Amino acid sequence: MAARYTLKVLTEFASAHTLREYPGACARMHGHNWKVETEVDAGALDDVGMGVDFKVIKDAARRIGERLDHRYLNEVEPFTEVNPTAENIAAYFYRELAAELNNDRIHVRSVTLWETDRACVRYTEDH
């Protein structure tokens, strides 16, 4: 059986959004202190004995979060067209992280976006 290591880091950012066509209070501008939980799979270890340095994952997630931090998401691409739901934000993070981190040894497994301490969405794609 092949070894697999799953590494997880947690980052955060704050932003506001308005859910288009939503039949409730979230159709008005409101904000969240989002938490982004990133899971990366490693099928092998490097020469140091790591799948990937936690710092590499954290730095990538923070760079993506900085694009959204203290912003009104409806004015930030791709959310000028794509409804800035938690689901779509999680997919955005996943794809941006995968483009930056995936290689022959590691790949992004999932992104879990926490809207509140009690509500989150997990996004993943088949490989």
From first to last of its 127 residues, the chain has per-residue pLDDT tens of 778 999 999 999 999 999 999 999 999 999 999 999 999 999 999 999 999 999 999 999 999 999 999 999 999 999 999 999 999 999 999 999 999 999 999 999 999 999 999 999 999 998 6
SS3 category, 48 = coil
The domain limits of the chain are 5-21+30-123
Find out whether 32 is annotated in a ligand binding site.
yes
SS3 category, 57 = helix
Strands 5-17 and 106-116: unpaired
Catalytic residue among 66, 70, 75, 87: 70
Assigned fold of 5-21+30-123? Tetrahydropterin Synthase; Chain A (3.30.479)
Number of CB atoms found within 10 A of residue 32's CB: 19
**26 catalytic per annotation:** yes
Let me know: does 99 contact 108? Beta carbons within 8 Å: no
Strands 30-42 and 119-123: unpaired
Catalytic residue among 39, 107, 115, 120: 115
Find out whether 127 is annotated in a ligand binding site.
no
Find out whether 107 is annotated in a ligand binding site.
no
